[in-house]
Structure 1
């Protein structure tokens, strides 16, 4: 009887305990509603952003066909600009990757644009432009070289006909000596740029410029001392400082930069290093000759008088040497000048001690011509050793009854490090002689130049001293002195069909070794074969280097003899059929 009521009370308590369940369901429902609202808001925001970006993209794509693009560059009248540009050379700082305009002649534009003292390769102003075309978006670029290389031909043409060409004028107005620059427009057929009588050139092999692109390329020698790399006491600058461009241009095979050096290339006495400078930043080490590896971006072929730099990076380069022993020697060029005419009693003789490179002598010849000087005798070479001894100059055998020297000491000296560094331009000293009478019209004497405890040279001078110019007898220049730009197949000695045949037959390894490795060995280009092995066509790169070495004559007879030794008789017949052998 007592069990039933107890059971009923417990059931009632259980019912009371379950009475809170509907409240929990309500909370879960509210939470679900809140989450759904948040998700809807998030989806709405995403959709709104997508619509906004789509509209923004459509707006930017319209810039291509509107005047807004040109307006951003402050254009001038395009037709008028074309007229003016016929006399304006291309900008040496811009990378006109798709430019298809003409090659302009160098003219004086100083009457239009003020001259400045800025370096030849000043950086362009930062340009932050975002352009879209039918092929996709172009990301913002700070460098016009990267920017213009990615634009379509139509856009690039428009840009170059406006503000960029104004930049060209300003840049070239700063170039006071156009004789140290060569430029041209090149496509995938390649070509050759040559700075006359300087020993500096840039070979653009066929296929180096990507198919369908056109680059306006240049090579220039920097003569200002502040453009030269810093060197330590035992280091010396062995080449001119040379830039090639446009910087940042995409290349599909190495170009070859050639420049004269003044080192006696004995690897036991020297450590020779290639340095480069990008965008006027600090000078950086690239590679030490003889220490190349698979990660080395350049290859250096060091010939007795010239170095050939194979690179896919267009930049500013210089070769620096560090003497390991005191027997390390660099070649100097000694050049003696006097006045073209002399109406006073005094007669000055200037003795230049230059690095033995063509461009150093060319610069002095140009300077003396402007000063009214003449070369008194053929320049001579002198081996200058890293022994820390000075260079001593003295004058002898003067007719003392007719002339007297105004030099109180017996000789003059140029400090060793002034010469060894190679960073001082036009280094010279002057001997001033005085004649007793204006009737004396001839000067005969000897001039001695030698390194203390080293080699020396003696000049026998026989000078005509008169008020009338006697004429300047400059040393003969090379036969390629008038060549600046060669475009297309005519720039190469090896005909294209023969070249293709050689590449197809020599690129594949041969069991007997009659492949590109033997070709490199026969041509003495086998110092570091791994560089060629990393290229898609090792034979092609070897032949490119051979072309650079043998420009402008192209010693095809020697190449034919090498191929005959390798058993390539069919190629010899082809050369004969082409009329080149």
Structure 2
């Protein structure tokens, strides 16, 4: 046996060097990993600060990019000029020879529109024009948290509310006693129940209707916008119970023919799907109560909302409001008749009335409602019984048509077209004719127009023109129909479950508010939220006797 040789000094040094090198590599790797980890998380934190997460709850579902189209500063005249529509076209005729169109001197053309004018042979006339001025986008929202500095936020939101169009904005200061904000003659209001604002705080709150087409949410071809875009604030405010935002809509037979979707605009301008009406659950941030003409949004997150719908059958229809205007005075031989085809919401007609007043126009007949069905058929307009001995039409056509997609999408709030009549003699002062508006193979309305040009006839009175409707803010107990003492007694007796079932659940059933009882069950006082919703539905003339009769039917004589 040979003895093992002892390792040399050179071999020991080599082994020690290898071990030290491995240790150094490990240390360097750990340092690099920590540096990369801290850097990536610092970037992630900064990204969150830029989102709307700090401004309230949000849903991570189907977030869509906002439409980039801008809005013209003046309303469209569909018969003046138009642009080819880049999308699905539902016309049933082929484009053929061109026919001269009527020009309106009062209104400029709208981009991305196509109007068709048909003569007796059925030929179609498209014309293009992309001119127009563009307006600015939505002003940035206040992003600082209300809880960090409530005084600063109140001043900022007060300034924001007062810089908006006063005719479509309401604002006021609210404390724990609550109140009501009403945008006059618009069908839009914000109910702030007592207890919604935390004790000891005062919020400067506002509600406003946005009238720019560019601020409307982008919709798919099968969808349509059913309500105006409405904002309420201040954004990021802490609420201890739901407020109720009421918005008019134009959907007909909402319970059977429609799939409704509530959308919310985020701080960066994108629109997200908040909830599908009828599919609320414990994770959805709000509840939507649909009535025949209005939707009531119960939410603790103030923001910008809009109702979008998709028809689930060909019988589905949206209500249009038809309004015919002419000049108050006419100093030329030409007489322009403008026919507006609007979503049947109060604010849409209010906007046109205001605009026509500024232009020197007046209503020629009472506005009428038309149910426009999802049948892909166009909207046809024609003028009849023109006294040809004194007048002649400058439109060389039998009728005009607005394409189905243009009406159904609601992409333009003040959609209209113009008929121009020419007097054969300056001495002619009387005009009478009929104007027919109908959907092809669908419903229609006839306007009987009669006017004397020399007389300054007053506009036909409507509820939207009532000058007495100027109350925008109600604060404290006087804002509610149900006295506070009675409300407290009702909540005390109906919140507790009853073996006979005549508690808040039966109250919801009797008031037709029982579509989703689990929403009320999650609240500290289900009865209180039900009564808040009743207040919003029946404002301003809720009948307490009817509510008392419901309680009698429930057997709650106490």
1:168 is displaced (CA, Å) by 6.2
Query: Matches of 1:200 and 1:160 in 2, distance apart?
Result: 24
- Asked whether the 8 Å contact 1:122–1:171 carries over to 2, the reply is no
Gap change, CA 1:171 and 1:314, over 3 Å in 2 = closer
Which of 148, 151, 154 aligns to 1:150? It is 148
Aligned-pair Cα RMSD in Å: 1.9
1:321 is displaced (CA, Å) by 0.3
1:160 is displaced (CA, Å) by 6.9
Establish whether residue 377 from structure 1 lines up as the match of residue 365 from structure 2.
Answer: yes
Matches within 5 A, 1:223-302: 223-302=211-290
1:419 is displaced (CA, Å) by 0.7
Match of 2:351 in 1: 363
Matches within 5 A, 1:163-242: 172-173=162-163, 175=164, 177-242=165-230
Matches within 5 A, 1:544-559: 544-559=532-547
1:567 is displaced (CA, Å) by 2.1
- Asked whether the 8 Å contact 2:350–2:464 carries over to 1, the reply is no
Deviations 1:363-411 (A, max 9, x none): 0000000000000010000000011110000000111101100111100
- Asked whether the 8 Å contact 1:121–1:171 carries over to 2, the reply is no
Match of 1:511 in 2: 499
Match of 1:540 in 2: 528
- Asked whether the 8 Å contact 2:254–2:290 carries over to 1, the reply is no
Match of 1:335 in 2: 323
Which of 309, 325, 339 aligns to 2:297? It is 309
Q: Comparing both chains, which one has the higher relative contact order based on Cα–Cα distances under 8 Å and sequence gaps of 6 or more?
A: 2
Establish whether residue 481 from structure 1 lines up as the match of residue 499 from structure 2.
Answer: no
Establish whether residue 123 from structure 1 lines up as the match of residue 121 from structure 2.
Answer: no
Structure 2 counterpart SS, 1:249: coil
Establish whether residue 447 from structure 1 lines up as the match of residue 429 from structure 2.
Answer: no
Query: Matches of 1:218 and 1:278 in 2, distance apart?
Result: 18
Structure 2 counterpart SS, 1:493: coil
Deviations 1:232-284 (A, max 9, x none): 11111000000000011000000000010000134332111101012143100
Deviations 1:500-527 (A, max 9, x none): 0000100011010110000001011111
Match of 2:483 in 1: 495
Query: Matches of 1:121 and 1:533 in 2, distance apart?
Result: 38
- Asked whether the 8 Å contact 1:403–1:434 carries over to 2, the reply is yes
- Asked whether the 8 Å contact 1:341–1:470 carries over to 2, the reply is no
Q: Considering fraction of residues, name the structure with more helix.
A: 1
1:172 is displaced (CA, Å) by 4.7
Query: Matches of 1:385 and 1:118 in 2, distance apart?
Result: 34
Q: Which runs of 5+ in 1 are unaligned?
A: 1-94, 96-115, 125-142, 571-581
Query: Matches of 1:365 and 1:281 in 2, distance apart?
Result: 29
- Asked whether the 8 Å contact 1:120–1:172 carries over to 2, the reply is no
Deviations 1:204-254 (A, max 9, x none): 000000111110000000110111000111111000000000011000000
Match of 2:548 in 1: 560
- The TM-score with structure 1 as length reference comes to 0.71
Which of 420, 424, 428 aligns to 1:436? It is 424
Matches within 5 A, 1:127-138: none
Query: Matches of 1:346 and 1:204 in 2, distance apart?
Result: 51
Query: Matches of 1:222 and 1:258 in 2, distance apart?
Result: 15
| More displaced 10-residue stretch of structure 1: 437-446 or 187-196 | 437-446
Match of 2:451 in 1: 463
Q: What is the total number of aligned residue pairs between the two structures?
A: 425
Match of 1:56 in 2: none
1:169 is displaced (CA, Å) by 5.3
Q: Which runs of 5+ in 2 are unaligned?
A: 1-54, 56-133
- Asked whether the 8 Å contact 1:364–1:426 carries over to 2, the reply is yes
- Asked whether the 8 Å contact 1:272–1:321 carries over to 2, the reply is yes
Query: Matches of 2:141 and 2:324 in 1, distance apart?
Result: 39
Query: Matches of 1:281 and 1:250 in 2, distance apart?
Result: 22
- Asked whether the 8 Å contact 2:161–2:206 carries over to 1, the reply is no
Which of 393, 399, 415 aligns to 1:405? It is 393
- The TM-score with structure 2 as length reference comes to 0.74
- Asked whether the 8 Å contact 2:318–2:373 carries over to 1, the reply is yes
- Asked whether the 8 Å contact 2:326–2:335 carries over to 1, the reply is yes
1:322 is displaced (CA, Å) by 0.6
Query: Matches of 1:252 and 1:529 in 2, distance apart?
Result: 20
Query: Matches of 2:297 and 2:225 in 1, distance apart?
Result: 16
- Asked whether the 8 Å contact 2:240–2:300 carries over to 1, the reply is yes
Deviations 1:542-563 (A, max 9, x none): 0000000000011111101001
Query: Matches of 1:497 and 1:310 in 2, distance apart?
Result: 23
Structure 2 counterpart SS, 1:438: coil
Query: Matches of 2:461 and 2:204 in 1, distance apart?
Result: 33
Gap change, CA 1:476 and 1:497, over 3 Å in 2 = same
- Asked whether the 8 Å contact 1:392–1:414 carries over to 2, the reply is yes
Match of 1:71 in 2: none
Query: Matches of 2:329 and 2:458 in 1, distance apart?
Result: 9
Larger Rg: 1
Establish whether residue 569 from structure 1 lines up as the match of residue 548 from structure 2.
Answer: no
Matches within 5 A, 1:20-169: 117-119=135-137, 121-124=139-142, 143-144=143-144, 146=145, 148-151=146-149, 157=151, 159=152
Structure 1 counterpart SS, 2:147: helix
Establish whether residue 423 from structure 1 lines up as the match of residue 421 from structure 2.
Answer: no
- Asked whether the 8 Å contact 1:120–1:171 carries over to 2, the reply is no
1:170 is displaced (CA, Å) by 7.7
